[in-house]
């Protein structure tokens, strides 16, 4: 179907924790312009897969190639520079810093000389930031504190943050968790628009089958670390193994 090379090629990827094979030799391709859903019950290995792609976890076996470049063994920062973005919850941005880094941030903000340097550097990026906010429909609210935003709007800002490195591949682990159905649809429609506009690819996990069927171009289904099905929404829905995993029938 695809004449071109895959953007992401995952082959025989595996990760064990102690004796547990969290991800057990999975292979899949992802093409530019595609939204690929990674679905499966809790504990299936979805987050572990994401964290191997972004470099937070080191795989025990297999390969993950982005446009031909092997990612296994690279640091998260290096992978990010190669064009793999991920959404962070805004609440997580500071939580992802270490204990001492959080205190360093506080010191930095109280050091007038360093703070004015930081402000100058930040001012320099303001136009770029406003352009990103414009792309997610949040430019008009640019100067409001994030704490005042509706939940769906916070998610839009998180998407703008994830776009900062102009990713070729964007990873979204449960982007619509905790959202009302309407907000979910708005976020996924926006994501789809960004994918088509930029020719990037998205790998996302999602619990709502309605969202998967409406927005994913293809899905891969994991259960107990193994890839049990792959296909377009209609193929996945009617797949006997998927029925068994989801509905126990």
88 near 174, Cβ under 8 Å?
no
Q: Which is nearer to Mg ion, 44 or 71 (CB)?
A: 44
Indicate whether 51 belongs to the interface with Mg ion (CB under 5 A).
no
Long-range pairs of 212-217 with CB within 8 A, sequence gap ≥ 24: 212/37, 212/39, 212/236, 213/237, 214/185, 214/188, 215/35, 215/37, 215/188, 215/189, 215/191, 216/35, 216/36, 216/37, 217/34, 217/35, 217/36
Query: Which among 47-55, 64-72, 158-166, 175-183 is the span making contact with Mg ion, rule CB under 5 A?
Result: 47-55
Rounded to a whole number of angstroms, the minimum distance from the CB of residue 62 to ligand ADP is: 15
Shortest Å distance, C-beta 72 to ligand ADP: 17
Residue 135 contacts Mg ion per CB under 5 A: no
Binding site for ligand ADP (CB under 6 A): 17, 20, 22, 40, 42-48
**Site membership for Mg ion, residue 49 (CB under 5 A):** no
Decide if residue 47 touches Mg ion (CB under 5 A).
yes
For ligand ADP, the closer of residues 160 and 220 by Cβ is: 220
17: number of Cβ within 10 Å: 11
Name the binder of 17 from Mg ion, ligand ADP, none, CB < 5-8 A by kind: ligand ADP
Nearer to ligand ADP, 42 or 147 (CB): 42
Comparing every residue's Cβ against Mg ion, the nearest one is 47
Nearer to ligand ADP, 39 or 74 (CB): 39
Which span sits near Mg ion by CB under 5 A: 46-54, 95-103, 119-127, 160-168? 46-54
Nearest to 240 by CA among 224, 221, 225, 226: 221
Q: Which option in Mg ion, ligand ADP, none does residue 44 bind, with CB closer than 5 to 8 A by kind?
A: ligand ADP
Q: Does 176 bind Mg ion (CB under 5 A)?
A: no
Does 87 contact Mg ion by CB under 5 A?
Answer: no
Residue 170 pairs in a beta bridge with 85, 202
Rounded to a whole number of angstroms, the minimum distance from the CB of residue 33 to ligand ADP is 25
Q: How far is the CB of 16 from ligand ADP (least distance, A)?
A: 9
Q: Is 48 in the site for Mg ion (CB under 5 A)?
A: no
Q: Is the Cβ of residue 46 or residue 156 nearer to ligand ADP in the bound state?
A: 46
């Amino acid at each position: 179907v695809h004449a071109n090379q895959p953007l992401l090629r995952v082959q025989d990827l595996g990760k064990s924790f102690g004796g547990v094979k969290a991800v057990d030799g999975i292979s899949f391709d992802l093409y530019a312009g595609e939204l690929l859903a990674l679905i499966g019950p809790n504990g299936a290995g979805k987050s572990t897969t994401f964290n191997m792609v972004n470099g937070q976890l080191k795989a025990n076996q297999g390969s993950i190639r982005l446009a031909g470049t092997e990612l296994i063994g690279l640091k998260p920062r290096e992978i990010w520079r190669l064009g793999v973005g991920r959404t962070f919850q805004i609440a997580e941005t500071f939580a992802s810093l270490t204990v001492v880094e959080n205190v360093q941030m506080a010191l930095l903000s109280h050091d007038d000389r360093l703070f004015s340097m930081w402000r100058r550097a930040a001012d320099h990026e303001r136009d770029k930031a406003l352009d990103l906010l414009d792309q997610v429909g949040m430019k008009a609210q640019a100067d409001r504190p994030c704490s005042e935003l509706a939940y769906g709007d916070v998610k839009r800002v998180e998407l703008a943050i994830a776009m900062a490195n102009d990713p070729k591949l964007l990873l979204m682990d449960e982007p619509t968790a905790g959202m009302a159905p309407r907000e979910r649809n708005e976020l996924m429609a926006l994501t789809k628009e960004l994918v088509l506009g930029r020719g990037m690819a998205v790998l996302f996990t999602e619990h709502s089958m309605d969202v998967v069927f409406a927005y994913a171009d293809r899905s891969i289904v994991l259960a107990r670390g193994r890839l049990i099905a792959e296909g377009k929404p209609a193929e996945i829905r009617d797949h006997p193994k998927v029925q068994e995993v989801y509905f126990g029938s």
